Every structure is written in C-alpha cells, then in structure tokens.
Structure 1
C-alpha cells in the first residue's frame, strides 16, 4: 500500500489534521508526520497561478490529503458572493480535489455605490429568517459551482446576539437542513462566545449548542486556544495558544455526538514548532481513540 493510500485510509477512520501555515512549509514537506492525516490550507493563500505556489501545492499534495478552508467568501453577505472570488476558489478546489471544503457563516462583502468591497474580517450576521434566506441562497450558489458539499463554520461574534430571533446553533442547523451543506463546528468559537456572553452557565450553553445540531451534518471539528484576558474583557479568538482544557473536554462530548467528523488543530499566531503542533494532533488522536474504544466496550 502506498503512503498516500495509507493516509487516505487513516483519514477515513480517525481524521486528525492541522492547519498548514507558511512558517511550517518546509517541515511539512521534509518531516512527514504519523500524527497528521491531512493538512488544511487557507484558500486565499493559494490563488496565485505563478511563482512557487503551484509547485509547492503539488508537492505537499503528494504527502498529505488536503482540506480547503475559505476565509473571504462571505456566505452571509446580502450583496452575494463575489463572482471573481468564487471562480478562483472553484479553480483551486478542482486543482487540489480536497477531502473537505469549508468557509464561514458570516458576511464580508458589501456594496458602496457601484463598487464591491471586502470587509477584511468575518463579520456576524443577525440570526433571523432574512439572514437565513441570504445564507441559503449563497450556499446553494457555491455548492452548485463547486459540484460538491460545502461545510459552513460558526464564528466568534463580539456583539451580544442573545436577543436575535434564532439561536446560533438553531440557525446553522436550519441552513444545513435547507441546503444539504455540512457543518464545521469550531469548539473554541463556541467557548469564546460562551465565555463572553454566557459565562454564568458556560458548560450548559456549550452542551446545548452542540445538541441542537443535526448529528449527520457535522463533518469537521476545529480545536484551538485563545489568549487569556482580564476579568470583564472580551476574549479574542486569536488562535495563539494550545488547545484549552475546556476545549479538550468539550471535544470529548463532541466525539460522542459526531463520531464521523474530522478533527483539525488550528494555531495561527505565536506559532509553535512543527513538532509541537504534531503533539497537539497526537493528543486529539489519543482522546479520539480512547473515546471510540469506550463507545465500543
């Protein structure tokens, strides 16, 4: 069996990956890991058609299955998904043939006069029927263009949305039901929103959030850590720390609820060494294997 075949076999059974950042490009190519089944790349970093990007992408795909994660699609944008952006995104997907394709339930695109502008951030949408209709239309458009399922991820919102007509998880569940899209559940995002606005019942909030989702729709789980802040300050989802104890604990619950979902370690700032990142993946693999053994016993 080839190395690539072994990778695909393990992805189907345990699916533990890490986000690939440019500081680790060389190590990813020269120090292939038994703890990593796949790598996630950010789509926008690989749109270039010339230079070193295409040959690097081809080389890394020889060693690892890849997932593609978009950060600029703006699926909740009332002005729609930018056609030029979507064309480049689809071209990348066709070139790589990734195991998973994802983006966020947020808005990023707007219209000022005749000019389309990108916000440069993942901005929250109101969880109501009007926003749901926009999200559904945009997901349908993208899935038809891709010819495959898209996963949508929950984001961190730095505004209190408890007065919205729908809860976040209910909103995402409805989108998945109406479009057939998958869900990417970022557990750290759930916890950051919970700590910022539901600190009095964080554990119950997080568990209820997960239980609201349709089990079969969740295809991937993101794990991350955030910098601690002073009491009363908003926690920022900076992905600059190891996976938190609370996130590992919530992960154990999530595995039981969504046993077929892939797992990804996200670490974007104050990056660790490639070896340290693999250790985080190894911890996820250990917890996953232990939980699955308990379920079978």
Structure 2
C-alpha cells in the first residue's frame, strides 16, 4: 500500500464499519488509534492487516505522554514500533499533552505550561520517538480549558519551536483551535494566522459539545461525538485556502454514527479541498 497520505478526506476506522469500506466514497485513507492494536495476533490484528492492504493508514497515539516529566515508557514504545513495522503507516501522530504520573496511566490528555523546561522535555521525547520509529512524527495541538500563568510562550510559538528543534511535523486539529479559542476567549483566526502552517502534515476535523462552567459561562468540550460545526468548517476552508490541499481526517469517536454519516462529512471536506485545487 502507498505509504503517503493523499491530500483527501479520511476517517477514523471503526470495526462496525468494516463492511462499509467496500464502498468508501470520498474516503481515501483511514486512521487507527495505536493503543487499540498493540497485540501480536487474533481477529482484530487480522482485520488491521486487511485494511492496511487496501488503504493508506495514519496511526494516532494517545498513550505516549509526550509532555510527561517521566521518561517515555520503553515497553509502550517497543509495542508501537512493532505496530509501525507491521502496517507501514503513512503517518504517525501524538498529542501535546501528558497522561502518566508515577507509573499510572490517567486516561486523559492533560495540558502543559509552555515554558523552556517543557520545551526541552517535549523536544527530547519527540526525538526519542522519531528515532525509535524511524519516521517523522506529527504533533497535535491540544484543546484547552485553561491557560497557565507560568507560560512564557504562546502556544503557536511553542509548536513552531518544537518543529524547528526536532524536525517533527504538525497535526493541526481545527476543532481544537475553535474549542480553545472559545474557552480562553481569544481569536481562532489570529491563532491560525500565527500557526506554523508550513509544518502541517495532516488536519483533523471533529465535533464538540456545549456546556457551562461553574460560573455559568459557556464551555466547549472536545468530545468527538457530533458533526463538525459550521464555524469549524469555515476555519477549515480559510486554512485550506492558504495551505492548499492537505490530508484531512473526520474524527468521530463517541456516539459513532452509521458510515453514511461519516462519508457525508468526508464529502464536505472533499468539496473544500477541491475548491482549493481549483483556485
């Protein structure tokens, strides 16, 4: 299988959609979560082998704890390497976050202050991952619900410096940009204008939920359980007009709908990508 992601829409692979992939429509590639496929055999891995023969794959990790203070888990990294060697993915990505402490996995992607110490740690961990896997990693911008008073970098400057130091690419999650901007009461367009777009290797689009915080103020939750919101589509179109076409994932991990719904979201992304080609 071609090991380059096409500049076209993809979707996250869900086992209930396996038969639907016989008619994928505009869906040109698939994403899997690494931690769901870290065994050496069995029906799940046989199914993964099948889809890897048919579609370019992006592997998206959620468990490396790139921003954690502890050293990277060598066993986890070894399992990830075996998975990469097995399916030869077109892309691998992880989050700018931490999720482990004192050997315990916290089942969440937790935020980081943007300081020199954090920058050094994240860069060191990314270098280790890229060396272990033998490929370029993409780093995803987080969805934020608070800002650290101790931060000395803007998030976009922090990401740009990480890319410069390590040679890693960026996974630009535009829904995360929208969620963070709303929660922190900043401009999403200003954020994207400052983002290192030349390092972007993949874009994520997903849905979010609307809630209220303890004071009653609006709060957006990045839950991957709804259609992409119209303001996020608008930010995506604006971004693609600047960058040209890029591999674009429709993320939907909770309350997963029928494949036809994902295919329709992918078609909407494809229409925007086509417009960028035409321009």
The TM-score normalised by the length of structure 1 is 0.88
Q: Does 2:5 align with 1:23?
A: no
Give the corresponding residue for 2:204: 222
Give the corresponding residue for 2:76: 85
Equivalent-residue separation in structure 2 for 1:260 and 1:85 (angstroms): 33
Which range moves more in the overlay, 180-189 or 251-260?
251-260
Q: Which segments of 5 or more consecutive residues in structure 2 lack a partner in the other structure?
A: none
For residue 36 of structure 1, give the secondary structure of its aligned residue in structure 2: coil
Give the corresponding residue for 2:177: 190
Q: Does 2:236 align with 1:251?
A: yes
1:195 Cα deviation from its structure 2 partner: 0.7
Which range moves more in the overlay, 242-251 or 150-159?
150-159
Equivalent-residue separation in structure 2 for 1:216 and 1:91 (angstroms): 30
1:159 Cα deviation from its structure 2 partner: 2.1
Give the corresponding residue for 2:275: 290
RMSD of aligned residue pairs (Cα, Å): 1.8
Give the corresponding residue for 2:222: 237
Equivalent-residue separation in structure 2 for 1:144 and 1:27 (angstroms): 36
1:105 Cα deviation from its structure 2 partner: 0.6
For residue 145 of structure 1, give the secondary structure of its aligned residue in structure 2: helix
For residue 42 of structure 2, give the secondary structure of its aligned residue in structure 1: coil
1:97 Cα deviation from its structure 2 partner: 0.7
Equivalent-residue separation in structure 1 for 2:189 and 2:157 (angstroms): 13
Q: Which segments of 5 or more consecutive residues in structure 1 lack a partner in the other structure?
A: none
For residue 277 of structure 1, give the secondary structure of its aligned residue in structure 2: helix
Q: Does 2:142 align with 1:151?
A: no
Equivalent-residue separation in structure 1 for 2:43 and 2:35 (angstroms): 15
| Cα separation, partners in 2 of 1:162 and 1:278, compared to 1, 3 Å | farther
Q: Does 2:151 align with 1:164?
A: yes
Cα shift readout 1:124-171 (whole Å, capped 9, x = no counterpart): 111111000000000000000011100000111222336621111111
Q: Does 2:26 align with 1:44?
A: no
The answer (yes or no) to whether the contact 1:32–1:63 under 8 Å persists in 2 is no
Equivalent-residue separation in structure 2 for 1:206 and 1:158 (angstroms): 14
Give the corresponding residue for 2:192: 210
Which range moves more in the overlay, 31-40 or 66-75?
31-40
The answer (yes or no) to whether the contact 2:138–2:170 under 8 Å persists in 1 is yes
Equivalent-residue separation in structure 2 for 1:169 and 1:91 (angstroms): 32
Which range moves more in the overlay, 224-233 or 77-86?
224-233
Cα shift readout 1:27-70 (whole Å, capped 9, x = no counterpart): 23xx3313111000000001111221221111111221111000
Give the corresponding residue for 1:121: 108
